[in-house]
Every structure is written in structure tokens, then in C-alpha cells.
A and B are shown apart, each in its own frame.
Chain A
Amino acid sequence: MSDKPYKFDESPEPTRSSTLRRDALFGEASEQQANSEAQSHSVSEPGERDSGSVNKPQYKTKVKSQTLDIAQPETKLPQQVTEDVWEVEAKKGGISLGAATLGFGVISLLGFFVFEAYTTLVVNVSEHPIGTGVLGALLIGFVSCFSFLSFKEWRGYKQVNTAMEDASVIRNLLANQGIEPSAGKQPSAENQPSPEKIDRVLNQHGKRFSQGSYAAHCFDRYQQQLQDDMTGPERLGLYEDTVLKPVQEKAYKVLNKESVTAGSLAFISPNNLIQTFAVVWISFRTIRRMARVYGLRPSTAGNWKLLKVLAQNIAAQGVFDLATDEVANQIGGSLSAKFMENSAEAIAAGALNARLGRALIKLLK
């Protein structure tokens, strides 16, 4: 430590303010300063013989130190953003709950068939214990999983609604943050929401992101970059930069890709029925993938809105098909006419899918 070998025998007693020194060292402007300070200096006249025995002071330390018996912990390098690899499709790990439900259902159905066949064959041994037990177990499994799945869905929908409320709180906080203080003024601490309050809101919002979603991935990065000395607005700004904006950008990227796929499928579809099926499939895939980005699924109300948009899209696609067919008929049945018809339908399918995606983004952001 840097304790200085001072002796605190004598402290300079203030005599009078050294305006001469201030003025001469730094110029005329220093006079303004001269009277504003509480500091006083004892002044020796230039040329004064023998400055006396002014000893160096010894100060009382306000820091207590003790040696620890442990090694200094290593600081980890921060996360590398270049490692920002995230796949829209979730990695399949084992059998999903949905597949298990379906499996149990199919097995139960088969079981009943087998049981029925079995009872038909062995009419007289209807009280066969093993068959009944197995079928009963399968049925219980199916009913249990189905109930749990339903519960999870219900809980998910509830969470989405709360997440939307959180999002509106965050939007309000961000809007209030945009007020700029004028030049030379200190930002007023009273008007700023406390870091604790902002932390609470952001953590609540972040906690609802489903595991493995892009939003959850961004939220992890936000938490890693948080520093203890950050103010509330700084935390909010960091959340906006590391979670809200990247998620939004990713959602638009995914939507663009899905719209191109929708257009491509519409282009290569040989007939209107297949085209409609393709549009419906790609629409559901868009909804699923976007939900993976946001880490949320649309709520019940949202689903209805989306289904409405989907139905409108399909209807619009149908009308568009009719129109392009008619135009193609007028032009003639040449290959170029077919090409033109399919191109127009592809553009329409892409645009309609983008419309669906934008409705979805509006619901989820």
C-alpha cells in the first residue's frame, strides 16, 4: 500500500488567500476563482529566509487491508458475438411430448383393435387380466399426456398475454427515455426509473421466452453484458440493442425467407389444389418459425386473428388464381403464358405470406 512516511506534526494554518500566486501562475481569469474556494494558503513572501521547520504530515488511513489466503479468480473473456449461431428449426432431441401423445393414441387405438379382436376370438375369456391391464395403462398414458399437453398450451397462452403486457410497459419506458436533457444540464435522476424496477420488468419479460428460442438466446447475451454500475435507462438501452432489435431483425429475415419459399412453392405447383395446400403449409410453418424467434406463441385471440388472415390469404390466392387463369387463357396456352401465370401467382403467394408474417410480428413484438 502506498502509505506515505509523513509526520503530522504541523498542519499549515490558513492565513490569507494567495491571490498573488493564483493570478501570476494562471492569469487574470484566476482572480474569479480566488474567492470561491475554501482552501487557504499560508504565504511566504518571496525571498523570505528560512522557511522554518515545516514537517511533512502523517495521515490517518481510512482503508483497512488484510491479506487473503486465496488466489485471485480469473476473469473470463466476454462472449463472442460472432458465435451467434441460432437455427430456426429446433434440434430434435428424443421423442417430443406431441409425438408421445400421438404414439399413445395410435397404440391405444391399435390396442383396442387388438383387444376387440382378442375378445372376439376368445369370447369366453373376457375377463383376461393382462390385455385389460396393458390397454388400460396405454389409455391412462394417453389421457395423462393429453391432459398435460392441454395444460401446457393453456399456460403458454396465459404467459403470452402477460408477456404482451410486459412489452407495453417496456415500450412506455423506452418512450419516456427518449426525452433529451438540454445542453449543460445534468440528467435528472429523479425522473429516471430505478434500475431495480427496470430489471424486474425486463427479467419478467425475458423469463417468458421459451427455451431454445432466438429471444431467449438474445436475453442470455443481455444478461452477460449487464454491469453492476449501469443505470436504469442504460439497462433499457442495452435490452433494446441486444434483445428487442436483434429479435425484430431476425423475425424479418425469417419472414423474408419464408415468403420466398412460399413464392417458389406457388411457382412450381402444378395445380391450384396443391398450391393451396402448399400455401396453407408454408403459412403454418411461418407462424411456427416466427414463434421460435420471439420465444412466444400467439395467444388464443392472436390465433384467431392469424387464422382470419390465413383464410383471407387463401381466398385472395384463389381469386388471384382465377384471374391469372383467365389472363393466361386470353393470351393462349403457350409455355410463356403458363410461366407468366405461375410467376404472378408466386409473387402473390410471397406477398400474402409476408402479410401474414407482418400480422404475426405485430402480435408478438
Chain B
Amino acid sequence: MQKNIATFFDKTREIASLTGDKLSSAFNKETHRFTITGLSRSGKSMLFTSLITMLKSRSEEGYACLPLLRYLPPSQVLDMHIEPIDGYKPFPHIQNIEDLENGQWPKATEEAFGFKLVVRLKETASLKRHVLPHSDVVFEFIDYPGEWVTDIPMLSKTYAHWSDSAWAQLSSGPQQYFANQWKAFVNQFDFEQEPTEQRIQLLVNAYRDYLVEAKANGISLLQPGSFLLESSDFDWQAFGFTPLPSSITSDVSHPWFNIFDKHFAKFQNGWLTPLKQSIFKETDKQIILVDLFEGLNHSRQHLYQLKETLSHLADTFVYGQSTWFSRNVLKKEQIGKVAFVATKSDLIPVSQRGNLLSLLMQITEGARARFDGKPILFEHFLVSSMQVTDDGSNEDAIRYKDTDGRYVESTFEPIPSTLKEMEEGSHFPVPDVSVPSDYKARILAGKGVDRLLQFLLGKGEQE
């Protein structure tokens, strides 16, 4: 009899706890959708890898990292796990860690990956914890090649419009130095001949060579960025197009214009439109990653170009504050919080980081102008996903291990705090840092990620 009663009580308790768990999972869930926007090489994949490593180490191994992340107090974190997002390949976190283990930086992203980070928090409110014992904080992240983001503005153009502007663009600014071969190729190309598949490929490959070289030299304003990826889902070999001289684009009956116009339409309808709908869907929080070193590594013109590119990227997204009605009934989200993040900030001395932050603020001026009159919360952050450098012998120096295995000290002249201060004809070469063997400790020592998450997760307050 006693045994039966005990069994009955055990079962009742089990059912109650299961019900509580299910109720919690159903009602006590808080989902944060993040769009992480960044140009190619801005450090998106490394940021994701670090973020997962930091959160896992913090919740599973109890390491005291992310000290400023007050929104997820370690004492309340019960569990953390990664779930896939339907329609996306899982983010290769383990592969990236293995790469680091083997002394290689994670490979550049060439396709879209999606994942959810689910952090389960213990409920602390005395009454609520009996009914809903836990709450889930869900982070949805999508990693995609930075090359795609520069293509989205092409959606609203006609081929002729884009071609003329692309031609003007490659003849100006710092990219003009890398367009010589392409221009020479076009000059000797015979457009009187019919556009056969072979001839189209010749032209597309020559244009792509220019894009590749310009990208390798820090040019951020390159279209179509999708042509830069070998494994792009858009078949640019078969449906490629290039900008053409105005003598051709002004003649709508020209066979080369017609064929490229068709390919351009296919690029828009078959590639960019679905891309915008799936990857660049509306979310409520946005992180815009900016690699200022791409500009500092080259010239002031590169920095101006970065500023321009960023301000135009902001046009791609919908900003505003989502209401309960718009979010749950209309299923329409608007970005209400934006974090501008300068990555790889550990590559300059601590004494210069104030200047770097000021420079970041100036670079984002154009993008921020899109928020005028809207209740958008924004903030600027300096983030290092991994602290790869050590303090130098003086406050303007850093130390790091370069790719040749040498331990090097680099002393910096003052980083410009404004674009005007960047001396014409001078640059700040990016330290050529190798992956440190103690990469995990250095990921956990990464700075600014906690501050960034706290800002994005907090209920509207700025820390």
C-alpha cells in the first residue's frame, strides 16, 4: 500500500515537472533575431566561433568570462545548446575550432549557415519558478558571405543604370589602380562579333580578375560580389555579365546589351530576390561589423569608401520599433537596435582605442543618418573575438606572434580619430598575426563581446 502511494506521488511529481518544463518551453521563451551584417573579411565567422565558445565555456565549464554580460548571470544558466535553423546548413563551429587547433584561421564563409543558440535560465521568482521552472533565451544567427551584402542594392537598378555606374566607379577612387587590365581588355575586345558563350565567358573572367585583385587590395565597393565566390549558388559562368562601355549600353538593340540585360534580370530575379527574402529577412537587432583595418591598412580613400559603402548598406534594411501587433500578428519585424562594431580591436594598442572608436563613429555617420526621426537605439563597440596580441614595452606598442613564428613588437604612431587626420599617402599595416596555440584562453580573454551582447539583450537601456 505504502509502495503504491509512493509510486503515485512520484508519478504526480514527474508529470508536474514535465508539465512545468513544457509550459516553460512554450510560454517562457524569449527570441532575439540578430542580423550580423558585415562586408567580406570583417570577422563574422570568427565572432560567431568566439561567441559560441565563450557562452559554452561560461555555462558548461564555469569560466569567468563575459563579465559584463549581466543579462545572462552564470548562476542562473542551467544549460546551453545549439540548434539548427530550418533551411540552413549548421554553422561549422567544430570545424572552425579544429582549424584554430591546427593553427589556421577559420575559412572564409562561402555559403549561408544558420544556427540557434538556446540558453536555458533558471527562474528565480519565488512563485513563478514552480509553474515555469525555466526560461529560454534563443539567439538566431545567420552567417553568410560578406560579398552578398554589397549586391542587394543592385535589385533596384536596370542593367544599363548599373553598368554605367560600375564603369564610373572602377575608373575612380583607389580601385582605379587595379582596373587597368580590365579596361585594356575591353578596349581591345571586339563587340561587333556576336556574344557567344565562349566570348561572354572571356569577358566575365576578365572582369572577375579585376574584382579579385581589387578585393585583395582592400576595395570594399565591388559589384557583383557574388561573382567573387567560387561556390556561389548563382552560376556566373553561364549567366555572367559585366559593365559595358556607354557606347553599347546606350544602344538598346545591341546584342551584347541584350544578352547582359537578360543575365542581369536573371541575377536579380533568380538570385538576389530569394536571397533578400531568406537571408536578409527583417529582424529586431542588427550588428554591423566594420573592419577599419581594411581602410587603415591602405589609405584615407579606402576609409572614405568604407564609409560610403556602410551608408548604402543601411538602405537595405528596415529600421523602426516593432510593436507586439506587428511582430506577432503581421509577422513583420523592424530593426530597433543597431550595434556598430569595429572588429579586431586587439590589433592596436590600448592607448589608441579611443581614437579607433572616434574613427568608427565618423565612418558610421552616413548609416546613422538613416535612423533620423526613428526611435532606434544604437551604440558603437570595439570588439576583439580573440585577444591575439599582448601589451608592448610602451603604451603605443603591441606584441604578437607573426605567421613566420616570430614574436614581434609593433609600435604605432597615433591612429587618426577622424578621417581628416589620416595622413594622405600613409597607412597602418595590419599585423600579420598567426593563430596562438593558447587560442581558447585568448578567445575567453576577448574583449567587448559581453558589452555588445548586454546592449543588444538589455531592455532598452544603454550600459
Chain A residues in contact with chain B, CB under 8 A?
1-4, 6, 8, 11-12, 18, 20-27, 29-30, 32-33, 36-39, 41-51, 53-57, 59-68, 70-83, 180-181, 183-184, 186-187, 221, 224-225, 227-230, 233-234, 237-238, 241-242
Contacts and interface: CB of A to CB of B under 8 A. Distances in A.
Contacts of B179: 51
Given A25-B223, A62-B412, A8 B425 contact: yes
Given A61-B428, A229-B353, 4 more contacts: A21-B169, A25-B157, A46-B247, A50-B184
Contacts of B64: 78-81, 221, 224-225
Given A221-B64, A234-B68, A64 B411 contact: yes
B154 to A, nearest CB: 8
A75 B425 contact: no
Contact of A54 (B61, B180, B247, B429): B180
Interface stretch (B12-20, B100-108, B231-239, B430-438): B430-438
13 contacts: A1-B410, A1-B430, A6-B177, A20-B168, A25-B154, A47-B245, A50-B184, A51-B176, A51-B180, A65-B410, A73-B390, A81-B74, A234-B451
A46 B249 contact: yes
Given A24-B165, A183-B376, A237-B70, A68 B409 contact: yes
Interface stretch (B125-133, B264-272, B298-306): B298-306
Given A39-B301, A61-B426, A221-B64, A75 B441 contact: yes
B138 interface: no
Given A46-B164, A78-B63, A33 B366 contact: yes
A75 B68 contact: no
Contact of B427 (A22, A45, A59, A181): A59
Contact of A55 (B67, B177, B305, B382): B177
Contact of B428 (A62, A73, A238): A62
A43 B399 contact: no
A77 B390 contact: no
B315 interface: yes
Contacts of A33: 308, 311-312, 366, 369
Closest 7 CB pairs of A and B: A24-B165, A47-B245, A44-B171, A41-B172, A82-B62, A46-B246, A39-B304
Contact of B408 (A66, A221, A233, A241): A66
B112 to A, nearest CB: 23
A272 to B, nearest CB: 35
A303 B386 CA distance: 51
B68 A237 contact: yes
B304 A27 contact: no
Contacts of A77: 63, 440-441, 444
B168 A18 contact: yes
B172 A234 contact: no
Given A32-B369, A50-B184, A234-B463, A63 B390 contact: no
A42 to B, nearest CB: 5
A224 B63 CA distance: 12
A24 B161 contact: yes
A70 B165 contact: no
A24 B445 contact: no
Interface in B159-196: 161-169, 171-174, 176-180, 183-184, 187
Given A47-B167, A64-B410, A241-B70, A25 B221 contact: yes
A18 B169 contact: yes
B87 to A, nearest CB: 28
Contacts of B429: 1-3, 61, 63
B387 A43 contact: no
Contacts of A46: 163-164, 167-168, 243-247, 249
B426 A57 contact: no
Nearest to A74: B438
Given A68-B409, A70-B407, A26 B180 contact: no
A237 B68 CA distance: 8
Contacts of B68: 230, 234, 237-238
B303 to A, nearest CB: 9
A180 B174 CA distance: 43
B86 interface: no
A1 to B, nearest CB: 5
B176 A184 contact: no
Contacts of A45: 168, 246
Contact of B153 (A27, A59, A68, A74): A27
Contacts of B307: 37, 39
